[in-house]
Amino acid sequence: MDKAVRAFRQQHPSVNLVSILSLSLPELSKKIQDGSLPPEHVFYAYVGKALQIARETNCITEYMQESETQLQHTKPGEKKGLLYGVPVSIKDSINCQGHDSMLGFVKNIDKPVAEDSVLVQVLKRQGAIPFVKTNVPQSLISYDCNNLIFGQTCNPLLYTRTPGGSSGGEGALIGGGGSILGFGTDLGGSLRFPAAFCGICALKPTGNRLSKKGVISGIFGQKSVTAAVGPMAKDVESLALCMRALLCEDMFNLDSTVPPLPFNEEVYSSTQPLRIGYYETDFFTMPSPAMRRAVRETKQLLEEAGHTLVPFELTNVDYSVYNFCFGGMFADGGVTFLKNFEGELEKGNLGVLFWLAKSPNWIKTLLSWITKPFVPRLSNVIRSLRANTVEELWSLHHEIEESCHQFIAQWKKLNLDVMLCPMLGPALLIGYPAKLSVAVSYTMLYNSLDFPVGVVPVTLATDEDEKELKNYQGYFQDWWDRALATAFSSAEGMPVAVQCVALPWQEELCLRFMKEVEMLVTKKNMIV
């Protein structure tokens, strides 16, 4: 990367790379399309910036050198896709032909994949240039970003904080300005944690709105919790442009399991007032003062803009977390998850989970019973990791379906369009996500329900939030609650986001709501 950038700068010393990096994706795309900005200038501006951010945060795993060749093949006058000439970054677990998809496992080194994932194929057909792959936590089942091959990725805004995970390399690279558009996956918040922690936007679509063919999963075959692939960018308009480009005939032809639903422009561009449900807490993970304030301030801005805000009462989140999320992901007792680690250095950063997955059912049952009076949450987590019979798994799937129908019925009863929810934040200290698996409750609920959900940064943590945090006890006052209070601390100035949720297959409405939140927050900040 260094060599390529130096060669370009020698040949084009007068090109203003900083002005290129300051453009939003829609602005950049327009200039490339109308010929006023050569794709070559854009490409090397981002290669240079990506290299700088990689040195600062350790976010890149591989430079795709063939991107330089692809760049040379972008001919003037040819039919241009919507992402023509746009350099894009790709999460390690999304297959790119000729490159490893390592997932932080040593055994996957030097095993280049034979074919691009459908996502990457469509991106290329739309003119985008995938140029780097980015770091992930070992196995993907984590919201930190650390593995034994590449080490720890840091948050570009504050190096002592995690960038989130598992799409943490993407969050760090885009948050630092080294990529204008990136792609990750989300099984429990893996797009949303990095976006929220690094101060950018992300969209987790409904599980099958975008193709997952050629995208490697952390737990093969698991169907209880729905994973999704989605975009990350600095602003909502960039995400919308990306979805317009991806929801095309190529996507539907290359993967016929994806419903042929083109981007609904009418829904996205509507200005009708919205009826918005909201809640400040899920009564399982106590929100930090900054999280609660983020929802309240956003609610007020939306009401002042003429939207209707309706309180939504969440129930049984603890049951969902233990039984649907943890119980669903590890319904085989953790056997599939463990297989990933065969022949690996078993350290990882998954500690207790790893040990429990190796234990037989009777030990899990015994431990669950022993810990129940002292640490009820740990007791429930241990119980949720028991191996299920086929009958039990089918029963679980039925329960998950029923729970989804009940949630939608409550939504419809209130006649809601969308929902405003808290998002975990500010960014936790490095190393803490591994100790705080229970804090995925705010995000993983929407993987279990399979609803589209986006993240928009709305505020920064303040000194006042920090003072209030001293009184943080959590709902259970257990070790996890105490650890979370520590993990949140000393984060003044770090971004805090909200989640914007819509019903299944309504990504355009979700983006429309995100755009509204983003616009109102930007307007408020300009006045301040």
Structure tokens at 65: 């050198």
Amino acid letter at 262? Answer: P
Q: What is the mean pLDDT of residues 333-358?
A: 79
Helix segments in 228-287, DSSP class H: 236-246, 249-254, 265-269
Question: Integer distance in angstroms from the first to the last C-alpha of the chain?
Answer: 40
Q: Which CATH superfamily is domain 264-316+395-527 in?
A: Amidase signature (AS) domain (3.90.1300.10)
283 CB burial (10 A radius; 0-12, 13-18, 19+): middle
Please state, for a pLDDT cut of 70, what percent of the chain lies above it.
Answer: 98
**CB under 8 Å to 136, separation ≥6 — which residues?**
91, 92, 93, 103, 104, 145, 147, 165, 166, 167, 168, 169
Burial label, 136 (beta-carbon count in 10 A; 0-12, 13-18, 19+):
buried
d(CA 41, CA 162): 32
Checking if the pLDDT of 402 tops 80, the result is: yes
pLDDT above 60 (res 490):
yes
Domain ranges in the chain are 1-263, 264-316+395-527, 332-387
Q: What's the pLDDT score for residue 346? A: 62
Binned at pLDDT 50, 70 and 90, residue 262 comes out as very high
Residues 58/50, Cβ–Cβ less than 8 Å: no
What's the pLDDT score for residue 358? 83
pLDDT at 362: 92
Question: Which residue is listed with tokens 């028991």?
Answer: 386
H-state helical runs in 139-181: 168-175
Q: What is the DSSP letter of 55?
A: H
pLDDT at 228: 98
* List of residues 6+ apart from 115 with CB closer than 8 A: 95, 97, 214
351 pLDDT tier (thresholds 50, 70, 90): low
190 is catalytic: yes
Tell me the DSSP string of 434-494: GG-GGGGHHHHHHHHHT--EEEEEEEE--HHHHHHHTT---SS-SHHHHHHHHHHSS-TT-
Instruction: State the pLDDT confidence band at 240, using cuts at 50, 70 and 90.
Output: very high
Q: Is the dihedral of CA 178, 179, 183, 187 positive or negative?
A: positive
Query: Which of 142, 166, 403, 441 is the catalytic position?
Result: 166
| Active-site residue, from 67, 167, 190, 384 | 190
For residue range 276-320, list pLDDT tens digits in order.
999 999 999 999 999 999 999 999 999 999 999 999 999 999 999
Determine whether 420 is exposed, middle or buried from the number of CB atoms within 10 Å of its CB (0-12, 13-18, 19+). Answer: buried
CATH tag, 1-263: 3.90.1300.10
pTM exceeding the 0.85 threshold for the entire prediction = yes
Residue 78: the pLDDT is 65
Give the pLDDT score at 344: 85
pLDDT of 349 > 60? The answer is no
Least confident segment among 82-96, 241-255, 336-350: 336-350
Give the residue-averaged pLDDT of 68-89.
Answer: 85
354 against 240, higher pLDDT: 240
- Encode pLDDT of 14-64 as tens digits: 999 999 999 999 999 999 999 999 999 999 999 999 999 999 999 999 999
Unique residue bearing structure tokens 């997952």 = 212
The residue ranking higher by pLDDT, 200 or 350, is 200
Catalytic residue among 91, 133, 212, 435: 91
Give one DSSP letter per residue of 213-238, joined into a string: TTB--SSTT--SS--EEEEEESSHHH
pLDDT at residue 213 is higher than 90:
yes
91 is annotated as an active-site residue: yes
| Three-state secondary structure readout of 179-205 | CCEEEEEECCCCCHHHHHHHCCEEEEC
- Matching CATH topology for 1-263 and 264-316+395-527? yes
| Listed residue (120, 128, 132, 130) closest to 51, CA to CA | 132
Mean pLDDT value across residues 372-377: 91
Q: Give pLDDT, residue 75.
A: 62
- The residue among 358 and 27 whose pLDDT is bigger is 27
